[in-house]
Amino acid sequence: MRNLTDRVLKDLIVITGILIGAFLLFSTYDILESLVYFSQQHEEYEVDEILSTFIVFALCMAVFSWRRVKDVNKALIITENKRIELQQALSEVKTLKGILPICSYCNKIRDDQGSWNNLQAHINTHLDAKFSHGACPDCFDLRMKELKENKA
């Protein structure tokens, strides 16, 4: 995007330079008077119409270039705002990465400081997740069997 803005500004500078150069050239050598005289002598060449067309063309180029600069600047602002939004969203995302050292007996997880923490607490800390407790059918049957055995 920045290259496009630079290119548009260079276009405007070139157009402005051409207009200033034309003004200085015309005012120094009275070219317009010569063109008027030539146009009067040779009406079939239609020099005055060609000259006025070039002037209108130069003005149109300047106006359209200015509009292009404004559009590019607006696009740059929108892009920058989106970049900031994405960075804020990225900073809010929490993920688990790498290898998690987990106890094979109690399922506690060792953190970077060497402390052993509950699996649920570790996931809550790193993922902003909430847990809902329940029992799968196999564990439910096993626990019920244990309860019946303990009761008897």
Domains of the chain, by residue range, sit at 2-92, 109-151
Q: What is the dihedral of CA 121, 125, 128, 133, to 10 degrees?
A: 0
Q: Which amino acid is at 15?
A: I
Q: pLDDT band at 33, cuts 50/70/90? A: confident
DSSP state of 44: G
Model confidence over 111-129: pLDDT tens digits?
Answer: 878 888 888 877 777 776 7
Element (H, E) at 53: helix 47-92
The whole-model pTM stands at 0.41
Element (H, E) at 100: none
For the chain, what percent of residues have pLDDT higher than 70? Answer: 92
Q: Which amino acid is at 39?
A: S
Beta bridge partners of 102: 109
In this model, does residue 77 exceed pLDDT 80? yes
Rounded CA gap, 39 and 45, in Å?
A: 7
CA distances from 151 to 139, 144, 145, 148 (A): 18, 10, 10, 5
DSSP state of 128: -
